[in-house]
Amino acid sequence: MSNPPPVDACHVACTYAWPWPERIAEFKFRGNPGLATPLVTLLQSSPWVEAAIEQADIVLPMPLTNARMRERGFNQAHELAKRLAPATHDPGILLRTRDAPAQSELSRAQRLRNLQGMFALEPLRAGAVRDRRVVLVDDVMTTGVSVFTAAEVLRRGGAAHITAIVLARTDPPA
């Protein structure tokens, strides 16, 4: 394969279809981080998720922009990650470098442009991913651009193996 994806595996709990869009919106946009617990139960019941968490050296949530963090008061991916892997999650290694428009409103091409240079490793902690098995946690995957862009940063930082764990996946465009 000339351009393999930057993740070694990607595990998804469910399709972004009823009843999940409403539950995820309530969790993410209506200030209800307590919903992370039942959503993590859904993740843990998915094949290969538990094994990926057990084998991981470090579990990283997809970081939010500063504006989204102020707006929501919490990072939904971090809420999932800390419940999935209380001992190995670390929200301070993978960073978003700037605010940008919400990905959900953009086409794939616009998402690619929007995410250029968007992620970085915390300079004083970048070595934490070198030669490690990393799990990257996110709530919803649409095109995969965000997860893949973050995984490319982890790969350049020396991560030995990267598994993405995502709560819900939208149907790919027809």
Report pLDDT digits (tens) over 35-78.
999 999 999 999 999 999 999 999 999 999 888 898 899 999 99
pLDDT at 109 over 90: no
pLDDT value at 102 more than 70 = no
Which residue do the tokens 């922009």 mark? Answer: 65
Domains and CATH numbers, the chain: 9-169 (3.40.50)
Q: What is the CA radius of gyration of the chain?
A: 15
Higher model confidence: residue 154 or residue 97?
154
The residue with greater pLDDT, 58 or 108, is 58
Q: What distances in angstroms separate CA 163 from CA 135, 147, 169, 174, one per listed residue?
A: 5, 10, 15, 26
Share of the chain above pLDDT 70, in %: 90
**Non-local CB neighbours of 171 within 8 Å, separated by 6+ positions:** 15, 16, 17
Beta strands in 17-101 (DSSP E): 58-61, 94-96
Q: What is the mean pLDDT of the chain?
A: 91
* Token reading at 36: 């992370």
Cα 165 to Cα 30: distance, rounded to the nearest angstrom: 23
Ranges of H-type helices in 73-169: 76-84, 108-115, 145-156
